[in-house]
């Protein structure tokens, strides 16, 4: 397998320009997410560099830009807050250890080739938890937007503290936050080709703060350490290792979903096909290294990826160059970021939260399907007020139960029992003649399509009539697949018929279904000679048993 991503030099100008533009887009977002997470702006920058660099080198999507994202930042904020509250001295190092665990989990998923299963999740659940994350990101920025420190305790604490936050509002900082949002929402889209809106908002907000509010005490980023980061030694306690691993799995899973969904967007723009398993390995390596050097976790970022592609990038060289540009900023130009107001970064983060909200589905979900709408809103509320993993787990469980019930109801219509010519089953002329000659003494049970466990009740209903007929013919010729529950239901049909001394015949199902029945020992209860390749042969044998002369006449 190819180790490195698709790095080429035949599109040098496009890749370098794409990488440079993506770096310009990444800078304000990395600073905003670093501050929003509580780990500091430098953690956001390191995350943008290390996740972006190693995901570009080892990933499976040539034009994907990876960096700290809104969803990953929300989860990281919760992890960081919890670990620091329980262990003030080592909490920060433990949080970065969780990032490393997330990276290792992603590498494991990629190595086991499970990438194709990551996005097999109902859209109502994906929409719900993404919208919930968007709401969380907006709510957590309310305090810095109003010029105050975020109260400890997450979303609930912020909501309870709203009266105090409003009473102690800092007008100058709130004005800067409002100006930031106005720029982000109102700047014409065509301007984005020349100046990314987040960077424009960052520059305008900072200049206004220095020019018009020079005499006002405004909270700013402050000094960012220059140079390379220090290594963070993995840290954990015996009491908290289990919860740290669970947090790492949640963070890693969310990163996988985020990255692979963005990879699909990249595919649609470039007409290429990403390698999902390889991408997970690249994302995992990026998060592992980021955690080792005190950086935020990251994933594929839609905005950066789209900008990268639209400005000419076609290979992973763009992602590598973008990371190197950001590294130069950290090494030599970090002093330029000291004066950035925190309220401006809060405004940028709030706009990201608004963008994460799935407005399209939220507005239409109730019109499409009330069950999907209920799942979406339920997952969103659980994500906001309870926990992401609980929200996703409950959402997937309920969505799957509803889907199984719907499929079972549809498949139950494909379980039919007849004793004579019946339009519900398509019979040829010979089969109709044979069934008519049987004179209501053969019960033909016909099953079609993939059979899942919900269909077993329909089979049980049909086999109650077995005692009335000397012969039972199970037509499974149109069953390509059956699960264990259906196989056991069919076994019960055969067992009951044998106990009642009825003759049992079968039209052979597809390979998988036949092997499942064989492994269960079903054919030990009936002669294997009674299993036919076609319905006509099975009907002839049943009629032969009932009346040899009738069978010969019909034939």
CA 459/CA 445 separation, integer angstroms = 9
* 103: Cα separation from own chain's centroid: 16
Q: Does 428 lie in the same domain as 361?
A: no
423 band by pLDDT with thresholds 50, 70 and 90? low
List the one residue out of 298, 276, 236 whose CA is nearest residue 49.
298
| Lowest mean pLDDT, pick from 107-111, 142-146, 293-297, 446-450 | 446-450
User: How many angstroms separate the CA atoms of 269 and 284, rounded?
Assistant: 24
- Lookup: tokens for 394: 């409950």
Q: Does position 144 have pLDDT exceeding 60, yes or no?
A: yes
Among 305, 334, 365, the domain-final residue is 365
Please report, in angstroms and rounded to a whole number, the separation of the first and last CA atoms in the chain.
60
Both 157 and 54 in a single domain?
A: yes
* The pLDDT of residue 279: 94
Over range 159-170, report the average pLDDT: 92
Q: Does residue 226 contact residue 334 with C-beta atoms inside 8 Å? A: yes
293 within some domain: yes
* 462 within some domain: yes
CA–CA distance, 295 with 40 (Å, rounded to integer): 10
Structural domain total, the chain: 2
pLDDT of residue 57: 95
Question: For residue 3, is it within any domain?
Answer: no
pLDDT at 433 over 70: yes
Quick check: 524 pLDDT over 70?
yes
Average confidence score pLDDT of the chain: 86
Residue 553 has pLDDT above 60, yes or no: no
The pLDDT of residue 251 is: 94
- Judge if pTM exceeds 0.75: yes
CA distances from 134 to 40, 74, 129, 351, 358 (A): 20, 9, 9, 9, 9
Look at residue 397 and tell me if it is in a domain.
Answer: no
Strands 503-507 and 531-532: parallel
Q: Do residues 344 and 454 both lie within one domain? A: no
- The SS3 call for residue 436 is helix
Contact 284, 57 (CB under 8 A): no
Rounded Cα distance between 253 and 256, Å, is 5
303, 68 contact by CB (below 8 A): no
Confidence of residue 293 (pLDDT cuts 50, 70, 90): very high
Task: Name the domain boundary from 306, 334, 365.
Answer: 365
* Beta-bridge partners for 442: 471
Selected residue with higher pLDDT from 409 and 240 = 240
Looking at per-residue pLDDT, the higher value among 298 and 443 belongs to 298
**DSSP letters spanning 476-525:** EEE---B-HHHHHHHHHHHHHHHHTT-EEEEE---HHHHHHHHHHTGGGS
Given a contact cutoff of 8 angstroms between Cβ atoms, the answer to whether 545 and 471 are in contact is yes
| Cβ atoms of residues 94 and 42 within 8 Å | no
Cα gap 253→120, rounded to integer Å: 12
Which residues, other chains included, contact 368 with Cβ-Cβ below 8 Å and sequence gap of 6+? none
pLDDT of 274 over the 80 cut: yes
What is the spatial distance between Cα 426 and Cα 435, in angstroms, rounded to a whole number? 13
> How sure is the predictor about 102, in pLDDT bands with cuts at 50, 70 and 90?
very high
- Which residue range(s) make up the domain with 537? 414-554
The CB density around residue 31, as the number of other CB atoms within 10 Å, is 28
Q: Is the confidence at residue 283, as pLDDT, over 60?
A: yes
Least confident of 383-387, 423-427, 496-500: 423-427
The answer to whether residues 437 and 514 belong to one domain is yes
Q: Is residue 17 part of a domain?
A: no
What are 472's strand-pairing partners? Answer: 443, 504
Return the percentage of the chain with pLDDT > 70, whole number. 95
Q: Are 480 and 512 in contact, with CB atoms under 8 Å apart?
A: yes
The model's confidence at residue 420, banded by pLDDT at 50, 70 and 90, is: low
From edge to edge, which strands make up the β-sheet containing 503-507?
Answer: 415-418, 442-448, 471-478, 503-507, 531-532
373 inside domain: no
Residues 89 and 208 in one domain: yes
Shared-domain flag, residues 431 and 356: no
Helices (H), 341-443: 342-356, 359-368, 370-385, 388-412, 429-437
The verdict on 141 and 258 lying in the same domain is yes
Domain co-membership, 210 together with 351: yes
Angle at CA 454, nearest 5°, toward 448 and 455?
30
Same domain, 271 and 350: yes
Residues 421 and 360 placed together within one structural domain of the fold: no
Q: Which residues are registered as beta bridge partners of 431?
A: none
pLDDT, residue 227, reads: 65
421 has a pLDDT exceeding 70: no
Same domain, 337 and 427: no
Same domain for 260 and 144:
yes
Residue 98: per-residue pLDDT? 96
| Within-domain flag for 376 | no
The CATH number that applies at residue 536 is 3.30.750.24
Task: Examine residue 328 and state whether it is found in any structural domain, yes or no.
Answer: yes
Residue where one domain finishes, among candidates 346, 365, 384: 365
Contact status, residue 115 vs residue 280, Cβ threshold 8 Å? yes
Read off the pLDDT of residues 223-273 as tens digits, 9 standing for 90 and up: 777 666 778 888 888 888 999 999 999 999 999 988 998 898 888 888 888
């Amino acid at each position: 397998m190819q180790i490195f991503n698709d790095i080429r030099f035949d599109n040098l100008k496009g890749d370098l320009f794409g990488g440079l533009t993506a770096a310009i887009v990444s800078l304000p977002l990395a600073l905003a997410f670093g501050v929003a997470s509580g780990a500091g702006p430098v953690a956001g920058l390191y995350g943008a560099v290390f996740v972006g660099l190693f995901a570009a080198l080892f990933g499976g999507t040539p034009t994907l830009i990876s960096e700290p994202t809104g969803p990953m930042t929300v989860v990281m904020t919760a992890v960081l807050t919890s670990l620091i509250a329980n262990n003030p001295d080592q909490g920060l190092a433990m949080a970065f250890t969780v990032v490393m665990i997330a990276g290792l989990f992603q590498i494991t998923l990629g190595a086991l080739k499970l990438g194709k299963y990551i996005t097999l999740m109902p859209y109502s659940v994906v929409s719900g938890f993404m919208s919930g994350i968007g709401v969380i990101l907006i709510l957590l920025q309310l305090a810095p937007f109003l010029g105050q420190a975020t109260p400890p305790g997450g979303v609930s604490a912020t909501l309870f503290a709203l009266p105090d936050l409003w009473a102690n509002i800092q007008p100058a900082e709130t004005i800067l936050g409002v100006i930031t949002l106005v720029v982000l929402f109102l700047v014409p889209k065509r301007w984005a080709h020349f100046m990314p809106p987040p960077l424009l908002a960052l520059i305008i907000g900072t200049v206004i703060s220095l020019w018009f509010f020079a005499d006002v005490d405004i909270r700013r980023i402050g000094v960012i350490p220059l140079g390379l980061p220090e290594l963070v030694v993995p840290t954990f306690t015996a009491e908290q290792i289990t919860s740290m691993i669970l947090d790492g799995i949640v963070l890693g899973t969310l990163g996988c979903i985020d990255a692979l969904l963005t990879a699909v967007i990249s595919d649609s723009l470039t007409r290429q096909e990403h390698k999902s398993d390889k991408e997970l390995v690249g994302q995992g390596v990026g998060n592992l290294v980021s955690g080792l050097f005190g950086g935020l976790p990251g994933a594929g970022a839609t905005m950066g990826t789209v900008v990268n592609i639209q400005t000419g990038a076609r290979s992973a060289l763009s992602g590598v160059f973008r990371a190197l540009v950001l590294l130069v900023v950290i090494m030599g130009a970090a002093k330029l970021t000291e004066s950035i107001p925190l309220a401006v970064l809060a405004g940028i983060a709030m706009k990201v939260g608004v963008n994460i909200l799935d407005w399209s589905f939220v507005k239409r979900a109730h019109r499409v399907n009330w069950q999907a709408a209920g799942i979406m809103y339920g997952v969103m509320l659980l994500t906001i007020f309870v926990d992401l993993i609980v929200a996703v787990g409950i959402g997937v469980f309920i969505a799957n139960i509803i889907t199984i019930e719907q499929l079972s109801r549809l498949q139950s219509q494909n379980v039919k029992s007849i004793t004579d010519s019946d339009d519900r089953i398509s019979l040829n002329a010979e089969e109709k003649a044979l069934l008519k000659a049987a004179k209501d003494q053969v019960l033909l049970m016909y099953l079609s399509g993939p059979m899942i466990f919900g269909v077993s009740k329909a089979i049980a209903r049909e086999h109650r009539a077995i005692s009335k007929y000397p012969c039972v013919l199970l037509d499974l010729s149109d069953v390509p697949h059956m699960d264990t529950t259906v196989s056991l239901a069919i076994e019960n049909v055969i067992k009951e018929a044998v106990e009642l001394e009825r003759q049992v015949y079968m039209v052979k199902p597809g390979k998988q279904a036949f092997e499942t029945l064989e492994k269960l020992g079903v054919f030990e209860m009936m002669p294997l000679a009674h299993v036919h390749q076609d319905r006509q042969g099975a009907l002839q044998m049943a009629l032969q048993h009932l009346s040899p002369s009738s069978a010969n006449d019909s034939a």
